[in-house]
């Protein structure tokens, strides 16, 4: 039992930090432009595929640096030549634009790398068990992922709150006209933030690619969860996104390790009254592990009923 | 640093591409009914003109898609609610219809097949009330995200509730095992087509009628300025939820028609992909007008069927078309076409022709070059093992050579540059023509 708790906590925190790495970029972009970038998970996927492709020629470490730079560059170009033009039509077309972009990126990735998973592997240097708990080896690569996520989180926080660039960005988010008056190029700041945000997603992609499966549907699998994170946390709230990321990471990891259903609980109490067949029978025998994938969405609906602003958000969006 | 912004202004995006109507007010009832009689005549005559089996199947699909797109436009176009989960109601409508068909056939109840879409509509309405109560509290981005969450919830849930949704295989039904009226078996596709066409016309008429009611006007008002609606003494959420439920009901009817057409319902019906398709279709057609979603449904069904025969990467073109519409023509295809209406009526549209003809060449060049580049890249990256010999519009070449790439690249870049050079002329011609039209009308 303790073994299960420790391993699940470790994995849950790891998954949560990866979610946060992406959610932070998404939240930054949302705060800046007021639009949720539907294609954010697509940039994560691009990060994984570019990381795979670059590391094939140069090794993992150069890929880790180069892929986010390339993807961030693509993100900046998308902002400059795409989003900025749509911006004048309002927010719904912006959302639609990023929706179309996600669609196109998925098609392009399928076209270039095919529909099957690619052979993106953990670098040999990190391919060893870091430590052993209760006879289970915990891979060093997962520890490395955790460290990278924490380092980037801290770096982002320091850059935003303690540096001059961060000051200008924060000011441009809330008072763009004032910042422009002071002589800063606000559109350029927006382009930069969009590039950095998509670059952050790409970092998550490069490091998650070898641990999870790198294939053309990975954006579709993760995208909706990412929105759950930002909405549950509270739109535009970075700390909210952090809390929600960890919450969803932990809840989902614990759920998949619980092989318990209503029927099995009642049986262990000595009651054997399962309805046979039908929808009720399905509900009776479904295990918590099976409903793991829908728990985030249940959480989303429940949070929005109870607290429409999200956990830490303080504005109605 | 916890809260970065508080910007969420609502744009006037639905106004884009819309022109003030110059149609005379108070049209007679006959004139109002004319388009509907025409639409009915087209629906009746279509299978007599396009007699092939493929055409019949395609027209049935179009009819289903028209109902689905129009119901989606009640949300997006009329009420300004961007939903990423409209297929939930479509899919649930289909599932309930299939179960109802099996029930009716099993118990030999005296219910004929043409009434089955009522079941789908009621299912859509019921779930619309349930999910609408949660999701319509807010509009804008949050509504979009909740609709996505509910869509994921339902489509993931459909895998768990195996006995109702039938898992991967889905649930099948037999449409011929129902009570027969007038000796209609609904075995042949032509009978199913007429059933779909009839329901399509009824639903379209009903949805159009809704836009004319005070409710329809309030939906528009809620889209434009919810605060002001509240000042007028109406509850924006009540209006949103009414529109949401009605829209879900018609989506359920569309799902029921699909279930009757395919005699099966599976979990793909409620998936996020299906929600995406209806969003693409509605927006490509145009959300500013009633005819837009109809055009979008027809065009997208046509593209889905014919493009998928021509090229394997058709979904890429589909996505690129959507982005192009979002960026350059927010009014959609119908919006673009209707822009010219006032000019044609004023008799100044012909002044646009030289500029349009001038732009057509570079545009086609850009299009051809880009398509060639995409197709060659697809051949080299995905199909390289089948050989690099390929042909486009009858021209055979080897994609491994550099020459085709240079030609296609030059066409794309040259076409793009020429189009950029010509666009100011098109713009000027447009202004000249519309100014002339205003003078004539004034």
In three state form, how does the secondary structure of B174-229 look?
CHHHCECCCCCCCCCHHHHHHHHHHHHHHHHHHHHHHHHCHHHHHHHHHHHCHHHH
Taking residues A84-113, report their average pLDDT. 85
pLDDT of residue B21: 45
Return phi, psi of residue A232, to 5°: -65, -40
- Per the listing, tokens 């953990």 go with A122
CB contact under 8 Å between B279 and A96, yes or no, is: yes
In this prediction, residue A274 carries a pLDDT of 60
If you average pLDDT over every residue of chain B, what do you get? 81
Pinpoint the alpha helices (H) of chain A: 2-33, 40-58, 60-78, 84-87, 91-113, 140-162, 164-174, 176-181, 186-211, 218-233, 238-256, 262-268, 278-285, 288-291, 295-306
Q: At what angle do helices B236-262 and B214-224 cross, to 10 degrees?
A: 110
With 0-12 / 13-18 / 19 or more C-beta atoms within 10 angstroms meaning exposed / middle / buried, residue B38 is exposed
Measured distance CA(B299)–CA(B302) in Å, rounded = 5
**Binding-face residues of B in 194-213 toward A, CB within 8 A:** none
pLDDT of the residue at B384: 67
Cβ distance of B160 and A301 shorter than 8 Å: no
CA distance B390 to B394: 10
What is the rounded CA–CA span in Å between residue B166 and residue A51? 40
pLDDT of A133 > 60? The answer is: yes
Q: In Å, how far from its chain's centre is CA B355?
A: 30
Instruction: Provide the pLDDT for residue A293.
Output: 79
Percent of chain B with pLDDT over 70: 89
Q: What is the pLDDT of residue A257?
A: 76
Test A227 with B149 for CB contact under 8 angstroms: yes
Q: Is residue B63 within 8 Å of B257, Cβ to Cβ? A: yes
Nearest Cβ partner for A103 among B13, B161, B276 = B276
What's chain B's length in residues?
Answer: 442
Residue A111's pLDDT band, with cuts at 50, 70 and 90, is confident
- Is the interface score ipTM higher than 0.90? no
Element (H, E) at B275: helix B272-285
Burial of B66 (0-12, 13-18, 19+ CB in 10 A): buried
pLDDT at site B244? 92
Q: How far is A63 from chain B (nearest CA, A)?
A: 21
Q: Which of A161, A230, A281 sits opposite B163 (nearest CB)?
A: A281
B-facing residues of A in 131-190 (CB < 8 A) are 157, 160-161, 170, 173-174
Taking residues A56-65, report their average pLDDT.
Answer: 84
- Chain-centroid distance, C-alpha B282: 3
| Cβ neighbours for B142, distance < 8 A, ≥ 6 positions apart | A231, A235, A304, A308, A317
Q: Do A97 and B3 touch (CB under 8 A)?
A: no
Q: Assign B410 to helix, strand or coil.
A: helix
**What pLDDT is stored for residue B247 in this prediction?**
93
Residues in chain B with pLDDT < 50?
Answer: 1-24
Q: Which residues contact residue B234 at a Cβ distance below 8 angstroms, ignoring those fewer than 6 apart?
A: B218
Interface test with A, best of B14, B92, B323, B329 (most A CBs within 10 A): B323
Tell me, yes or no, if B7 comes closer than 8 A to chain A by beta carbon.
yes
Residue of A nearest to B223 (CA): A92
């Amino acid at each position: 039992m303790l073994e299960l708790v420790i391993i699940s906590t470790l994995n849950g925190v790891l998954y949560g930090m990866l979610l946060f790495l992406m959610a932070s970029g998404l939240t930054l972009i949302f705060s800046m432009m007021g639009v949720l970038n539907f294609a954010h998970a697509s940039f994560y996927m691009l990060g994984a595929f570019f990381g795979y492709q670059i590391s094939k020629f140069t090794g993992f470490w150069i890929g880790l640096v180069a892929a986010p730079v390339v993807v961030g560059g693509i993100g900046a170009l998308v902002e400059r030549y795409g989003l900025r033009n749509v911006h004048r039509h309002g927010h719904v077309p912006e959302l639609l634009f990023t929706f179309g972009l996600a669609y196109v990126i998925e098609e392009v990735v399928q076209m270039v790398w095919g529909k099957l998973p690619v052979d993106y592997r953990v670098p040999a240097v990190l391919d060893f068990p870091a430590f052993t708990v209760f006879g289970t080896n915990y891979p060093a690569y997962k520890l490395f992922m955790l460290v990278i996520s924490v380092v980037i989180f801290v770096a982002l926080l320091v850059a935003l709150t303690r540096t001059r660039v961060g000051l200008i960005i924060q000011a441009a988010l809330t008072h763009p006209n004032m910042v422009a008056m002071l002589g800063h190029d606000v559109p350029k700041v927006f382009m930069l933030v969009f590039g950095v945000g998509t670059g952050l997603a790409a970092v998550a992609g490069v490091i998650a690619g070898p641990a999870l499966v790198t294939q053309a549907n990975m954006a579709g699998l993760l995208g909706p969860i990412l929105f759950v994170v930002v909405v549950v946390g509270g739109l535009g709230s970075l700390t909210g996104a952090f809390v929600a990321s960890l919450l969803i990471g932990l809840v989902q990891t614990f759920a998949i390790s619980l092989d318990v259903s209503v029927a099995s609980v009642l049986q262990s109490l000595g009651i054997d009254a399962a309805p046979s067949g039908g929808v009720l029978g399905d509900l009776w025998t479904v295990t918590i592990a099976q409903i793991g994938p829908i728990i985030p969405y249940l959480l989303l609906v429940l949070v929005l009923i109870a607290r429409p602003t999200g956990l830490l958000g303080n504005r109605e969006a | 640093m916890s809260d970065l912004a508080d910007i969420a202004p609502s744009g006037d995006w639905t106004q884009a591409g819309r022109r003030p109507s110059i149609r005379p007010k108070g049209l007679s009832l006959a004139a109002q009914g004319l388009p509907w009689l025409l639409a009915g005549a087209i629906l009746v005559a279509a299978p007599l003109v396009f007699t092939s089996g493929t055409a019949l199947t395609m027209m049935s699909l179009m009819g289903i898609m028209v109902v689905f797109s129009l119901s989606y436009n009640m949300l997006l176009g009329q009420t300004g609610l961007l939903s990423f989960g409209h297929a939930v109601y479509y899919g649930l409508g289909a599932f309930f219809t299939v179960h109802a068909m099996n029930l009716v056939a099993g118990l030999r109840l005296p219910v004929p097949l043409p009434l089955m879409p009522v079941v789908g509509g009621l299912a859509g309405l019921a779930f619309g009330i349930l999910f609408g109560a949660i999701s319509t509290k807010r509009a804008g981005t949050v509504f979009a995200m909740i609709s996505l969450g509910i869509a994921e919830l339902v489509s993931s849930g459909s895998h768990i509730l195996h006995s109702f949704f039938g898992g991967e295989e889905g649930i099948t039904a037999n449409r011929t095992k129902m009570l027969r009226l007038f000796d209609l078996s609904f075995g042949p596709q032509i009978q199913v087509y007429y059933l779909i066409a009839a329901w399509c016309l009824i639903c379209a008429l009903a949805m159009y009628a809704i836009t004319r009611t005070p409710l329809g006007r309030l939906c528009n008002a809620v889209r434009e300025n919810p605060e002001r609606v509240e000042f007028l003494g109406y509850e924006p959420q009540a209006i949103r939820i009414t529109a949401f439920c009605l829209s879900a009901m018609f989506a359920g009817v569309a799902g029921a028609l699909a279930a009757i057409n395919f005699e099966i319902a599976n979990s793909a019906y409620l998936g996020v992909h299906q929600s995406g398709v209806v969003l693409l279709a509605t927006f490509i057609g145009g959300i500013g007008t009633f005819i837009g979603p109809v055009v979008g449904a027809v065009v997208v069904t046509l593209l889905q069927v014919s493009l998928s025969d021509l090229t394997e990467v058709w979904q890429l073109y589909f996505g690129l078309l959507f982005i192009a519409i979002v960026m350059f023509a927010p009014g959609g295809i119908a919006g673009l076409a209707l822009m010219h209406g006032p000019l044609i009526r004023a008799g100044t549209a012909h002044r646009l022709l030289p500029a349009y003809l001038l732009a057509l060449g570079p545009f086609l060049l850009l299009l051809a070059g880009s398509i060639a580049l995409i197709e060659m890249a697809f051949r080299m990256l995905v199909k390289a093992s089948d050989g690099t010999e390929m042909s486009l519009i009858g021209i055979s070449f080897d994609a491994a050579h550099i020459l085709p790439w240079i030609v296609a690249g030059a066409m794309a870049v040259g076409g793009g540059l020429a189009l950029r050079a010509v666009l100011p002329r098109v713009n000027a011609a447009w202004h000249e023509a519309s100014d002339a039209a205003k003078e004539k009308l004034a």
